[in-house]
Structure 1
């Protein structure tokens, strides 16, 4: 009997990959807070999970421009408080996803070893 890792792990791997992609995007926004005409970006995590449902491998996320509440005088759309909150939320969600994946792998290991 073979083990289908994609069935056993579900979408946990894709969720972690998307969280990593989002962290890179948000950190880029934070790094460019003072860059004139920089346009803040993000991804719609839920929409990306739906889009990638059933895919065997993760795909690059569709990057969207964030709609700011107020554009800076230099044309920059990064709002520091928004980016910091989004980054913190994404980091917490990443940790939850990683813990869930770790528990799934530990359960699989116990099943393989015949432990209960």
Structure 2
């Protein structure tokens, strides 16, 4: 009997992908805190998750340049990338990054990523245990 990893792993594989891409975006915001004209970006998690689940149901598609290339891949939909509304008045340089907000969001995102990782670890342990008992 074949194991469906999509069913076995649930939503955690998608949440980890979104969380890792959000971490990159938040780190970019922090790195550009002093860049004139830089606008802070974030991800609409609910919309990104919905897009990831729908791509799972219809199958992930990548453009293949050769018939021997594998199908697959997961990439964040650009429509879920948003510019954040600034909490502070413009300082004159057009930069909308609030470093405290970005740091707090980064830490929160890291904790949520870690939680998804622990859930996935539990799922893999369960699969490993189930496969181990099959051979006995």
TM-score range, shorter chain: over 0.9
- Rounded to whole Å, the distance in 2 between the matches of 1:88 and 1:5 is 29
- Consecutive unaligned residues of structure 1, counting only runs of 5 or more, are none
Query: Could you say which structure has the larger radius of gyration?
Result: 2
1:51 matches 2:51: yes
Correspondence 1:1-116 to 2 at 5 A: 1-56=1-56, 57=60, 58-61=74-77, 62-70=80-88, 71-114=90-133
| Shift in alpha-carbon separation, 1:54–1:111, aligned structure 2, 3 A | farther
Report the TM-score, using the length of structure 1 for normalisation: 0.92
Question: Deviating runs (4+, > 3 A) in structure 1?
Answer: none
Count residues with an aligned counterpart: 115
CA RMSD after TM alignment: 1.4
